[in-house]
Amino acid sequence: MEHQQQIAYQRDMFIEHKQEVIGQFGNRKDVNSARTILTGQVDKETNQGRVFTRELIGIVCSAENINRAYKQVKRNKGVAGIDNIPVGNFADWFTKEGDELVNQILRGEYLPSAVKAVEISKPNGGVRQLGIPTTKDRIIQQAISQVITPICEQEFSDHSYGFRPKRNAKQAIRRASIYVAEGRQVVVDMDMKSFFDEVNHDRLMYRLSLLIQDKQLLKLIRKYIQSGVMIGGLVHQRLKGTPQGSPLSPLLSNVVLDELDKELEKRGHYFVRYADDFNIFVRSQKAGERVKESVCSYLTNKLKLKVNEQKSQVCKSSDTKFLGYTILETGMITVSNQNVVRLKKKIRELTKRNRGVSFGKVVSDLSPVLRGWLNYFHIAKCKSLLRNLDAWIRRKLRCYRLKQCKRAITLKRFLKSLGVPNWQSWILALSGKGWWRKSGCPQVHQAMNLKWFEDLGLFNLSIKYALLQN
């Protein structure tokens, strides 16, 4: 009875003061004051830098934090887990069952459901296994992440850019280009083998316990990383790794790899890390080989992680790619050849001549692909590349449209309707050339010119790139 009263008091206290506490924590610029408000004292001399974070579980379970987590998960539009309950149904469910859920979490009795295993193809071949939590677990994990992320952010390295607020891949690439421009043109390109599947649970929880002290919250996080995986209707126990696809996984990966960041900083290396993808920049091949051997040993023996020896290498910055970019020896940023090939493959799929959809549909399908690709790669120097891509895309579309005409008379009428003289239209229509050769003829360029594509709403890479540079 006394234990239940204590839980009720704890919950009422946080509900009463949640707006004040969370508001101060989120808005205060002074890091030390923020720690004092939310996490108690910091005594680095006597406690090795440990942050005394007590009773965070109450903030995690507060109505305001749960509501914010629900809105974020809903924006992410994830698929349902093993319960097949969509995110949109959570609000009604929480209205009826929310009190019992919160009480179970506060009592330490809540058990997460197994995650649903889903495989997706990797760009370079192979498959990546994702673990999709149930809607309820996804929202709880998001609620946990919202509370502990600001605490972890105070400790994370400045060289880390992945899955962090106000940090992104473009910033990582710009930092890497500065290192190369300064003369560190040799890259130790490290690749960790199945990182998310190899994370050691004990080491992860140890690193997390250095940042927070709420034992109930730590136990809940451990339950999540050890929750089973449902494959083919059977639940398999997870002994290591963190399930990709959960809101907590990105943050926990940074907690694990922050130890690597601190070690590289201590050694005085110049490096950039984005999630499990990191490059170390040195001045010579010999130094790079020495660093690679040392870091591989540290990852394997200390962090208990596997290194992909086949993909890890020491080479010139211009001979490898980082986050889809290639950095030339002058420090200039370009798009990697692999990503250009990948984009062309996607365009070929959308403009396949036997696809059987309207021409307008093909154009509308292309636009989001091209827009998304350019939004990511616009920091690269790629003006001539984009000009060539635009010309190639227009020719693919011209070929698609010509094939839709099928017969010579239909093709002649189509060209004539777009301003091509009658006799020139007949010459092309009666030609024995294939569709691709016809798409490069002057009559076709005259008919389907730049203005014609602009009126159709085709996304122009060159024009949008120029606008983004201004």
Dihedral over Cα of 204, 205, 207, 212: its sign: positive
Q: What is the pLDDT of residue 389?
A: 97
CB of 127 closer than 8 Å to CB of 119: yes
Find the length of the chain.
470
At residue 185, does pLDDT exceed 50?
yes
pLDDT digits (tens, 9 = 90+) for 151-169: 999 999 999 999 999 999 9
Strands (E), 204-312: 229-231, 234-236, 270-274, 277-282
For residue 333, the cross-strand partners are 327
Query: Average pLDDT in the 276-285 region?
Result: 94
Angle, nearest 10°, between helix axes 201-209 and 215-225?
160
- When comparing pLDDT for 360 and 10, which is higher? 360
Distances from the Cα of 322 to the Cα of 121, 372, 373, 381, angstroms: 20, 18, 16, 15
Q: Counting Cβ atoms within 10 Å, is residue 234 exposed (0-12), middle (13-18) or buried (19+)?
A: exposed
d(CA 171, CA 158): 11
What sections of 302-358 are H helices per DSSP?
Answer: 337-350
- When comparing pLDDT for 470 and 155, which is higher? 155
pLDDT digits (tens, 9 = 90+) for 208-241: 999 888 999 999 999 998 887 777 767 777 777 7
> What six digits make up the tokens of 201?
């649970």
At residue 10, does pLDDT exceed 80?
no
- Nearest Cα to 272, choosing from 284, 290, 260? 260
Three-state SS for 274?
Answer: strand
At residue 128, does pLDDT exceed 80?
no
At residue 325, does pLDDT exceed 80?
yes
Whose tokens are 């091209």? That residue is 370
- Nearest Cα to 161, choosing from 153, 171, 152? 171
Whose tokens are 């459901």? That residue is 113
CB of 49 closer than 8 Å to CB of 1: no
pLDDT digits (tens, 9 = 90+) for 337-366: 999 999 999 999 999 988 888 999 999 999
pLDDT band at 194 (very low <50, low <70, confident <90, very high): confident
Q: Counting Cβ atoms within 10 Å, is residue 111 exposed (0-12), middle (13-18) or buried (19+)?
A: exposed
Is 0.85 surpassed by the pTM of this model?
no
